[in-house]
Amino acid sequence: MLHENIEPTFREGLTDNWYYIPPHTRLSLVNYFMHGLHPGGFIEAVLTNDLHRCVAIADHANIEALQIIVQWIQSHAPLDSWGTKEKIEAWCDELSEDRKEFVRRVEEKEIWKALKNENTSTI
C-alpha cells in the first residue's frame, strides 16, 4: 500500500518544489523511500550521483526537473539512502533499520497532522 499522505511531509521547507518533480518520479521516490522498492534506472542514477547515466536515460520531464530532483534528495533524503549502490541495496533491505526509522518519523508527522485536522493532500 502506498503512503498517500506523505507528500506534505516530503516537501516541507521546499515551498512548491516537490510539485515541479514529475508525478511519475514523485511516485518512484515515495516507493523507494517509504517502501524500499528498487528505483528505476533514472532514479538509481540520480541516487548514485551518476550524471552521465542520468542524462542518457532520463525522459524529457525528468531532464527538465533534474536540478529540482537532486536538490530535493540532498535536502530531504536520509544520508544512508543515497550516494552508492550499496547504500541503495541496504535501504531496500526489508530489515533496514534506517528506512524503518525514516518511515516511522514520516508517519508520525502525518498522524499528528490528521489529529490536528490539518489538511493533508495526496500524490
Q: pLDDT averaged over the chain?
A: 83
> What residue segments make up the domains of the chain, in order of their start?
7-115
DSSP characters over 65-107: HHHHHHHHHHHHS-GGGSSSHHHHHHHHSTT-HHHHHHHHHHH
Query: What is the pTM (predicted TM-score) of this model?
Result: 0.77
Question: What is the tens place of the pLDDT at every residue in 102-119?
Answer: 888 888 887 887 888 765
In whole angstroms, give the CA distance from residue 4 to residue 75.
Answer: 21
DSSP code for 38: P
Question: What is the tens place of the pLDDT at every residue in 4-39?
Answer: 445 545 545 444 688 899 999 999 999 999 899 999
85-92 vs 23-35: helix axis angle to the nearest 10?
A: 70
In whole angstroms, give the CA distance from residue 60 to residue 80.
Answer: 29
